[in-house]
Amino acid sequence: MKPIERVALPEELVFKNLSENKLSLRDVMDRILKFMSNDPRSPYQFVIGTDSQVFHGYTKFITGIIIRRVGKGAWACYRQVVVPREMRSVKEKLTYETSLSQEVAYHMREAGGISRMEEFLIPHLYQGASLELFIDIDAGTEPIVNKTSLYVQEMINRVQGMGSYEARVKPDSIGASSYANRYTKRPVDIEKP
């Protein structure tokens, strides 16, 4: 079996949201820190999650990055990856979704994004500041409801093997099953020059 796609270099990771296009990883980190600077004494959740949708001739993957100020709003963006074939295997799709989330999480850590967030919050720890890191997996544990239940533990183990990130599954995996899911339903976004 040949690989689906090579790992992207940090400069190849491009994100967007409703108000901005072509955000680099550095841009994303800057937006996150700006959002956090509005209330540095709050608890935060940094969430990465991927969902997918099969269309005729291709499969669209959306990886969302969310910084959530618990109970007080969020800032988010997403990355689109298109595989030029219809991925019908539940395990293959779930594995690739998890890999895309791990890829973004890896680059965020290696580019200093996680340490920048932690350093920003350290002076405010005794006023309520905190940071939790999650990779949300678009899978559920109920075998009757979720075809993905057979693979949940394998995906959780992969995320836990990275260290620092906690794995969440349905119904708690809002990054994948809510935010990213919203952007998978439309056909491929065509970038404007």
- The pair of structure tokens assigned to 120 is 């920003």
Closest CA to 180 of 76, 66, 63: 63
Can you give the pLDDT at residue 186? 82
Compare 142 and 181 and report the one with higher pLDDT. Answer: 181
Return d(Cα 29, Cα 55) in angstroms, integer: 32
Q: Strands 166-168, 58-69: parallel, antiparallel or unpaired by DSSP?
A: unpaired
> What is the pTM assigned to this prediction?
0.90
Can you give the pLDDT at residue 3? 44
Is 89 a member of any domain? yes
Is 34 a member of any domain? yes
- The pair of structure tokens assigned to 180 is 């990213």
Number of residues in the chain: 193
Q: How many CB atoms lie within 10 A of CB 36?
A: 22
Number of domains in the chain: 1
The CA-atom distances, in angstroms, between 131 and each of 125, 126, 165 are 10, 13, 11
Indicate which CATH number applies to the domain containing 21: 3.30.420
Q: How many CB atoms lie within 10 A of CB 43?
A: 15
Is 61 a member of any domain? yes
Is 190 a member of any domain? no
Average pLDDT, the chain: 90
| In the predicted structure, residue 192 carries a pLDDT above the cut 50 | no
Q: Strands 58-69, 74-83: parallel, antiparallel or unpaired by DSSP?
A: antiparallel
Which stretches within 72-173 are classed as H helix?
A: 90-110, 113-121, 152-162
For residue 190, name the pLDDT band (cuts at 50, 70, 90). low
Is 7 a member of any domain? no
Closest CA to 26 of 39, 36, 13, 17: 13
The residues, any chain, with a CB within 8 Å of residue 61's CB and separated by 6 or more, are 50, 51, 52, 80, 81, 82, 83, 96, 97, 100, 184
State the residue range of the domain holding 71. 12-184
Can you give the pLDDT at residue 22? 94
The CA-atom distances, in angstroms, between 140 and each of 64, 101, 135, 145, 180 are 18, 17, 14, 8, 16
Can you give the pLDDT at residue 185? 87
Is 5 a member of any domain? no
